[in-house]
Amino acid sequence: MTVKTCRPSAGLPLVSRPRLLDLLNAGLRRPLTLLSAPAGFGKTALLIDWIESLERPVAWLSLDQNESKPRRFWTYVIAALRTVAPAVGEPALAALLSPRLPAIETLVTILSNDIADVGQ
What's the pLDDT band for 95 if we cut at 50, 70, 90? very high
119: left (phi over 0), alpha (psi -120 to 50) or beta: left
| Identity of the amino acid at 101 | L
Ranges 8-17, 80-89, 93-102, 107-116: which has the least confidence: 8-17
User: What pLDDT does residue 6 have?
Assistant: 84
| Identity of the amino acid at 92 | A
pLDDT digits (tens, 9 = 90+) for 22-67: 999 999 999 888 999 999 898 989 999 999 889 888 999 988 887 8
Look at residue 1 and tell me whether its pLDDT is greater than 70. Answer: no
Residues in the chain: 120
Q: What sign does the CA torsion over 16, 84, 31, 36 have?
A: positive
pLDDT above 90 coverage of the chain, percent? 59
Q: Where are the domains of the chain?
A: 2-53, 65-118
Q: Which uninterrupted H or E stretch holds 104?
A: helix 104-118
